Amino acid sequence: MISRRRFTQAIAASLAAPSLAGCSSTPARPASGANASLGPIKQIDAGRLSVGYAEFGPADGPVVLLVHGWPYDPGSFIDVGPALAAAGYRVISPYLAGYGPTVFLSKDAVRNAQQSAVALDIVALMDALRIDSAILAGFDWGARTVDVVAALWPERCTALVSVSGYLITNLQANLKPLPPAAEYGWWYQYYFATERGVIGYRENRHDFNRLIWKAASPTWNFDDATYARTAASFDNPDHVDIVVHNYRWRLSLAPGEPRYDAFEQKLATGPQIAVPTITVASDFDGPNVDGKAYRDKFTGRYEHRILEGIGHNVPQEAPEAFAQAVIDAAHL
């Protein structure tokens, strides 16, 4: 999910939403959204995975890759995809490793969710689909993933939309303790650090993730059908291992793989991102909603947008605003 600090700040924001000058107010949408299905799901071998993905729009349109996070799936883009397709874009939204129909090609593969491994999954998918470059957009793990791709392989990214801004993980910084309120907001990371937590998540993942949805998007009144559509993706046999590895790796409690070391060393320097970028903040971002904390990380053409009354699942809660950010990023 998102950074430790920002999750706690979001809790505070949900109790007392700030008044922000210059913000764009985004009206709440019906919880069920405009669309009830992603349509036929396609499948392709790409790198270490057989990737399931939704696709919208003309085959010859400019390509947009929409990347989800935890505990979500491409259903977060169920209204964004058709909106971009109507504007002439070819839209692809993959299920990440451990979600829905995406499975490892080798039963012996490490169920690795460190940031560079997930980013390379996106690059491998682009290679498999013969996509040289694309507009990359994401939130939560997806924002971190597209940030990494833009930082390490900028030639693959024509423009970037990143919810909550610069989310590249710094392992050393994550070792530093936070104030008690911040640690409280990160409770599930510590739960996943225990074997009890692994068992609990494996047995109760549907109720667990619904709780996260409510905490992260307190004003989004999603219905049972909306949640059930995404919750089916958590039945993937690798889901628990992927989620647990991601959070344990981020606390240096689980190792990455040596083949990714060179990439992680580059990411540890906090590389700047030069591609045209729009960052999007919502109520979830709390005091960081103005984007000033990460402004200097983006050195190319840049805009920052604030959505009031919206929680963490920005593309599903505010699909029009998210789709417009993608279109505008392509024209920066």
In this predicted structure, the answer to whether residue 29 has a pLDDT above a threshold of 80 is no
Helix (H) or strand (E) holding 301: none
- Weakest mean pLDDT among 11-20, 87-96, 126-135, 244-253: 11-20
Report the alpha-carbon distance of residue 132 to residue 52 in Å, rounded: 20
* Residue range 184-231, pLDDT digits in tens: 888 999 999 999 999 999 999 999 999 999 999 999 999 999 999 999
* Span 142-160, average pLDDT: 98
Report the alpha-carbon distance of residue 138 to residue 155 in Å, rounded: 18
In this predicted structure, the answer to whether residue 236 has a pLDDT above a threshold of 90 is yes
Distance of CA 39 to the CA centre of its chain: 21
Query: Who wins on pLDDT, 305 or 10?
Result: 305
pLDDT band at 181 (very low <50, low <70, confident <90, very high): confident
Do 60 and 90 form a contact (C-beta atoms < 8 A)?
yes
pLDDT at position 17: 31
Report the alpha-carbon distance of residue 264 to residue 269 in Å, rounded: 9
In this predicted structure, the answer to whether residue 144 has a pLDDT above a threshold of 60 is yes
pLDDT band at 21 (very low <50, low <70, confident <90, very high): very low
Burial class of residue 196 (count of CB atoms within 10 Å of its CB; 0-12, 13-18, 19+):
exposed
Q: How far is CA 70 from CA 47, 94, 128, 174, 243, in A?
A: 21, 13, 24, 19, 8
In this predicted structure, the answer to whether residue 11 has a pLDDT above a threshold of 60 is no
Residue 108 neighbours by CB distance under 10 Å: 5
Q: Tokens representing 18? A: 């700030």
The residue among 18, 29, 85, 6 whose CA lies nearest residue 315 is 29
